[in-house]
Every structure is written in C-alpha cells, then in structure tokens.
Amino acid sequence: MSEIAPAEPWAVRESGLPAGAAALRQAESVFALANGHVGLRGNLDEPHPGGMPGTYLNSLFEVRELSYPEAGYAFPERTETIVNAPNAKPIVTTVDGARLDLRTGTLRRHERVLDLRRGTLTREVEWTSPGGVRVWLRSVRLVSLTRPSIAAIRYTVRAAAELRFDSDLVVNEELPAPRDDPRASAVVEQPLVSVSYDPDALVHRTRHSDRRVAAAVTHLGRPGSVRAEPDRLRWTTTGRDEVTFEKIVAYRWNEDDLRDQAVADRDAAAAAGFAVLADEQCAYLADFWATADVEVDGDPELQQAVRFGLFHVLQAGAQAGPHPIAAKGLTGNGYDGHTLWDTEIYVLPVLTYTHPGCVGPALRWRHSTLDAARARAAELDLAGAAFPWRTISGPECSGYWPAGTAALHVNADIAEAVRRYHAATGDDEFMREAGDEIIAETARLWEKVVYLDDEGDAHIAGVTGPDEYSALMDDNLYTNLMAARNLRLAGRSDLADRLVKPYSEKGGVHEQAYGFTRLQEWDFAEDHDFPLMLHQPYLNLYRKQVVKQADLVLAMLTAADQFTAAEKERNFAYYEARTVRDSSLSAPIQAVLAAETGHLSRAYDYLAEAALLDLRAGGEASGDGLHIAACAGAWIALVMGFGGLRDHDGELAFTPRLPPRSTRLRFSLRRRGGCLRVTITENRVTYQAHDAEVTFRHNGQEVTAAAGETVVFDPEPVADRPAPPTPRPPAGR
C-alpha cells in the first residue's frame, strides 16, 4: 500500500506502490505533470501495473455523435472527447532477461516525489527480481513549463546484471472501461490512425475528425537502435551495472508542418539536455511562487495542500495558450476533457492574481469561440452569444440540457472573468481585441432573455443556476445578479437594476430561485447515500430544498455588494442547512462565506475539504483527473475567505482573519504593475506593496501603500462564534 506523507511543505511524497486500480488511478492524477499544453498522467515508467494510461495534448480530441432516446430541438448532435495522445512514458527494463515488473519479485522500496519547486516527478525503486538480482531505479520526469511542446525523462538503473531497455513511443493503448458515472469520460477506442512513421517521429490523425498530431522522440546519453512501426517507435539500448539515459519528446498538433516542427522542438530540447530543461523549470517556478505562494504557518498539512493545488492550477493553465483550461486540466479524461464554467469562476480568479500572464490567453480562447457561441444563440432563438456549458473547441457538448444549455449563467461568468482580469491587469489591448466583444455579446444574450413584467420588474425564467439539484427555475438569484453585472458592464444598468432578487419575507432569506423556500424540505433524517445524484432521481432532487453546491451562497461572493451583512448571515445559515456539497465546487465557497459571517472553524473545515480533496480522498473521485477548480478552491478559501479579498468595482478589499491552527497566513496579489503582499498574524496585519503603488481597503478603510511601503494594522478581534442560529450542514454531510 502506498502512503502520501503529509508534512512536506514543497513536495508530495508517496511511499509504497498503490494497491489496486482505483488507488493507482488516483495517484496517476496526483502525480500528473502538465504545462497546460501537454499533460502526462503519473503512470509508472513500465506499463504495468497501471490505472489508466494518459497523455493529453490540449484540444487534441475526437468528435463523437450524440444520440438521444428522445431528442429535442437544438440538442447537440456531436460532442468532443479528448483522446490519448502518443505515449512517450513507457520504458521496459530487462534484468538478466527478466522484465522489471513490480508485480513480480520483491519490491523493497518505492517512492515518488512531486517536487513543487522543481516541477518534476522523481521515482526511486529498489526491487529484487524473481532471479534474485537487486535493482535500483531512478527516473525523473518533467513537462516543460517553458517549452510548451516538450516532455523529458531521465532514467537510471543500477544492477549487477545484463540490462536491456526498450523505450517506447506508443499509440492507441487500450483504456479501461469507463465507470458508470456521468462525470466519467467516454472511451474512444483506437482513436488515432497512422499517417506516417520514421525513426524520428510518428504522425497520426484522429480517426473521424482528421486532427493531426506528430510526436518526435529521441534518447540521449547512450547508443541504441530504433524500430519504427505505424503505432510504435521503440528505442532499445543495452548495458550492465549502471545505465543512464535521457528521453526527450516533442508534440505538435492541429497545425501545419507538424512533423518537422516537432522534430525541431525535440532537437532544440535535446541540444539543451535534461539538466538545462530542469533548470529552466526551476527558474519558471521560482518566479511563479514568488507571488503565487500562500504561506500557512503552523498547519503543515494545509500548507502542503494549498501549494499542491496552486501547482496543479499552474500546470493546467501555464501554456494553455490558444486552448481552453479544462475542468480536469490535463490530468485525466474526466468530463471528456471539457472546460466548464469552473474555469472562469474558480480557476481564472486565482491565476488573475497569481499568474495573470496565462489569463489573457485563456480569455482570448473564449473569444476565439465567439462565432460558435453566436451560432448557438441563433439556434436557440436567442441573441448575442450563448457560450457552451461544456466544450473543448467551442460548440455546445452538453448532452443533458436542463443542467447544461439551461445554465445560461456561464455567459455572465465569462464576462465577469473578463472584468476581473482587466481590473487586475489594466490590459486594455486585450479588452479592445477580445474582452469588450465578449461583454457586449453576452449582454445581448441577457437583453433577449430578460423580460419585464407589468410592474417593470425584470425576470429571467426557466434557467438553471450553479446548484445542479435544481433546474429550470425562475429568477435564480445567482443568475439574475450575474446577468445584472454583465449588463452593467455593457452599459445597460437600466435593465440590470430591474432584475429581481427573490426574497422570502416569511423566512427572512433570499430565495435561490422564485419559490425555492416553499418547496418541501429534504429529509436528512433518512439514511442517504452520497452523492445523492447517484442514488436519487432528479425528480426528487429538483422538487425539494436540497442544494448540491453553493449557488445563492456563491452569489454572496461574486455579487457580495448586493447583500447586507445581516442578509449574508441569515442566507448562509439557511442554505448551509440544505447544501450537501456533492460537488467539489461547493466547499471553497462555503468556506468564504463562513469566514465572512464569522464562523471560522466551519470555514476552516471547508477549506480543508477543498484543499485535501484530490490529495487525500481515496477512491474514484480523482481517478480520472484532478478537480482543478477545487485545487484553486484552497486559494479561494484562504485568500477570499480568511483574507477576505473582494474585488468588486475594480477595487481590492480585505477583511483579514487568521485561520484556526495557523500562526501566520501570507499571500500576495499581483495588481497591475505592482504586487501586494498580505501577512496576517494574531497580532497584526501587514500589507507590503512592491513594484508599484497599490490602493486597497482594509476592513472598509481605504489605504494606499507606495511601492516598497509596509502598512500595518492591529487585527480586529474575531471570535469564532457559535451564536444562534449556528449554521449547520445537513445531517449526514
């Protein structure tokens, strides 16, 4: 059995070999390496044992027909599914004629370390072969954060034996059968068809949609021979006692002349060599951590988890470039590799403040899909742009419209990401070239969707908000408030101001949607298996007051200025009792509102839930990829929750609180030319501006810190109050 050691601040270390396919799959996700462009799941070097092979190239996908038992007008007819790219990981080692296979012989030591500052996955193995040969193996793997097309492996084996190495680039590996879970991916069998092959590179195309991909590989450090087949390049070398070699692979796809480009990329990387690639990686990460790091002194488990999350957010976004950032990044094929609203509402806010250089490209990708969004709006008899609920290249790929197409809020979410990015960076060129058009086209959609009643109040009917246990509701408050923000950005305050905010006078709380608080309560006293969606029909979920994930509570973060403090307290308590957190998107937001309403230990619990989701949770949840939004969620819970960051109206505001168990919380935010470092201890709150003057609010008070200046405040005393009514999550959750 494997174990992940908790305490290391800058590494994730696994000792032992995961037992069973599910544990292997989860570890492969945790130890995935990616740069937003190329992603390698953390499969072992040798092909077996393994959970699920995974090599992903951002937006290398196959198109599949969708068929419905009972189709309806404008149901999407095709979907996109990420496919497994040529896999350059496999290296088979033979020791005195016996294959190194950890399922045989004796495994004396197995350790993997994901180094968050080096950006490498290091593996060390001590194994005794069935024939009694003691073998020591060390591999170091990286996916270059600076060279988008490049991955590299350094591989060393020591053994007093004849050694043989078969190092493969292999195509169309068999995938395990998909799980019976709507969140899993479809399996595309044998997705790639050979176009050409030579000792340097394989060129393939996707079987149905004819997308091209080239993979060029080379090996450094030893003589060897290459055998080229349509679906396999095999480099073989032999030696004894100690053998070290480096393997460099370069991918190019969806472009012209891609074989030669891949070979050129490979050659440039090979000329540098593994050591140089590793140094570049370190330097890139040093720059990243200089502002992205969040320090949580006194809480080593959380410290590790938040850095792990940030590292994977970076890996999902760093070089995503002209392609989207998927919900699973490039760590697995869950959700078919689609991007959803998570990116704009969870991932991009974190990157906007920590690593804004990759946010502009991510939003430019959205802009590049405007034609598809306009066509979709026209198909739906709407106006402007209707961005897809889930997609890889732009078209709507959601196969269950009540929780897909009907979630129109995705359009306002995208507009909000544009606003935030521009406010944070001042990137006017981006606005001129992309951002303004996104805001205008999404606002046009709302103008068509919103209607005025006889009193002149504006409504949005029949849409689905973030909570997927409700659907097709009227005046979903999150949607209304986000649509209003979108309309205001486009200069339609007149209409925005009229959008209603459903409120229950009786309950003294806002309604998630019109009529929500009059619905039947969910009976939490009954025994329920979670997540409910795998054990209850939508029929029951939709018609009762049970909330999958923060919806109105999310609105209190994204439209925080639309609620009084007292409303937030009452609303939070009300929805807290009805929210089952069956989505990983929920806990980070509940953490933020728990912190804001003064329930700090509850906030901490949700922070931990989000931060540790992929790192600690066993089982299937992370097996087909990490929850990149939850990875971002740890930062959101800490910085927006305990730091109290709000960024409405282009202004940074903080209400800092020290998390329970911590002695110091420190984080930084990039802000136009400058950077603001915030340090919270029991005794003081310190703001340090770097590189430029930064203006912000501290507990409502406007502060301007000059470049290099440090401003210090006494913290406001905050008790973690269990004041009545204490918000409580439902029984069983």
**Binding annotation:** 341-342, 548-549
Token code pair at residue 227? 């055998």
Minimum CB distance to its own copies, residue 478 (Å):
17
Residue 583 makes contact with its own copies by CB under 8 A: no
Residue 178 makes contact with its own copies by CB under 8 A: no
Separation of alpha carbons 209 and 212, rounded Å:
9
Separation of alpha carbons 533 and 116, rounded Å:
35
The number of C-alpha atoms within 13 Å of 322 and in the hemisphere containing its C-beta is 5
Minimum CB distance to its own copies, residue 72 (Å):
6
The number of C-alpha atoms within 13 Å of 83 and in the hemisphere containing its C-beta is 29
* Interface pattern 138-177 for its own copies (x via CB under 8 A): ----------------------------------------
Residue 375 makes contact with its own copies by CB under 8 A: no
The C-alpha R_g of the chain, in whole angstroms, comes to 26
Q: Which of 468, 511, 576, 609 is catalytic?
A: 468
Minimum CB distance to its own copies, residue 492 (Å):
18
Cβ neighbors of 344 (< 8 A, separation 6 or more) are 366, 410, 413, 414, 416, 417
Q: Amino acid identity, residue 47?
A: P
- For its own copies, the closer CB: 535 or 721: 535
User: How many residues interact with its own copies (rule CB under 8 A)?
Assistant: 52
Minimum CB distance to its own copies, residue 536 (Å):
6
Q: Coil, strand or helix: which one is 356? A: helix
Of 240-248, 357-365, 532-540, 651-659: span binding its own copies (CB under 8 A): 532-540
Token code pair at residue 1? 């059995």
Separation of alpha carbons 296 and 310, rounded Å:
14
CB 263 within 8 A of CB 200: yes
Residue 515 makes contact with its own copies by CB under 8 A: yes
Q: Amino acid identity, residue 704?
A: T
Which of 588, 560, 724, 563 has its CA nearest to residue 646? 560
- For its own copies, the closer CB: 364 or 544: 544
Q: Is 429 a catalytic residue?
A: no
| Residue of 1, 103, 177, 381 that binds its own copies (CB under 8 A) | 381
Minimum CB distance to its own copies, residue 399 (Å):
2
Residue in the structure block whose two tokens are 């309560």: 521
Separation of alpha carbons 633 and 350, rounded Å:
9
Minimum CB distance to its own copies, residue 438 (Å):
21
Q: Coil, strand or helix: which one is 706? A: coil
* Interface pattern 402-421 for its own copies (x via CB under 8 A): xxxxx---------------
Backbone CA torsion sign across 636, 638, 642, 643? negative
CB 667 within 8 A of CB 636: no
- For its own copies, the closer CB: 537 or 700: 537
The number of C-alpha atoms within 13 Å of 229 and in the hemisphere containing its C-beta is 9
Residue 79 makes contact with its own copies by CB under 8 A: yes
Residue 509 makes contact with its own copies by CB under 8 A: no
Of 19-27, 278-286, 479-487, 538-546: span binding its own copies (CB under 8 A): 538-546
Which of 514, 377, 379 has its CA nearest to residue 440? 377
Separation of alpha carbons 351 and 344, rounded Å:
10
Residue 544 makes contact with its own copies by CB under 8 A: yes
Minimum CB distance to its own copies, residue 693 (Å):
48
Detail the residues annotated as belonging to a binding site for substrate: 341-342, 548-549
Residue 69 makes contact with its own copies by CB under 8 A: yes
Residue 109 makes contact with its own copies by CB under 8 A: no
Residue 536 makes contact with its own copies by CB under 8 A: yes
Residue 533 makes contact with its own copies by CB under 8 A: yes
Separation of alpha carbons 131 and 97, rounded Å:
9
Residues 460-479 touching its own copies, rule: CB under 8 A, are 461-463, 471-472, 474
| Residue of 97, 182, 618, 650 that binds its own copies (CB under 8 A) | 182
Crossing angle for the helix pair 586-596 and 628-635, to the nearest 10 degrees: 20
Token code pair at residue 712? 């210090």
Backbone CA torsion sign across 536, 537, 542, 544? negative
| Residue of 71, 271, 378, 712 that binds its own copies (CB under 8 A) | 71
CB 308 within 8 A of CB 315: no
Minimum CB distance to its own copies, residue 430 (Å):
31
Residue 378 makes contact with its own copies by CB under 8 A: no
- For its own copies, the closer CB: 284 or 503: 503
- For its own copies, the closer CB: 445 or 482: 445
Q: Give the number of other Cβ atoms within 10 Å of residue 48's Cβ.
A: 13
| Residue of 104, 254, 540, 699 that binds its own copies (CB under 8 A) | 540
Residue 537 makes contact with its own copies by CB under 8 A: yes
Residue 519 makes contact with its own copies by CB under 8 A: yes
Residue 137: enclosing H or E segment and its boundaries? strand 134-143
Of 61-69, 195-203, 284-292, 671-679: span binding its own copies (CB under 8 A): 61-69
Residue 197 makes contact with its own copies by CB under 8 A: no
Minimum CB distance to its own copies, residue 442 (Å):
16
| Residue of 534, 565, 706, 731 that binds its own copies (CB under 8 A) | 534
394: alpha, beta or left? (left if phi > 0; alpha if psi -120 to 50): left
Residue 459 makes contact with its own copies by CB under 8 A: yes
E-strand ranges in 254-382 read 295-297
Separation of alpha carbons 712 and 303, rounded Å:
24
Tell me which residues touch its own copies (CB under 8 A).
66-74, 76, 79, 182, 379-382, 398-406, 451, 453-454, 459, 461-463, 471-472, 474, 506, 514-515, 518-520, 533-540, 542-544
Just list the catalytic residues: 468
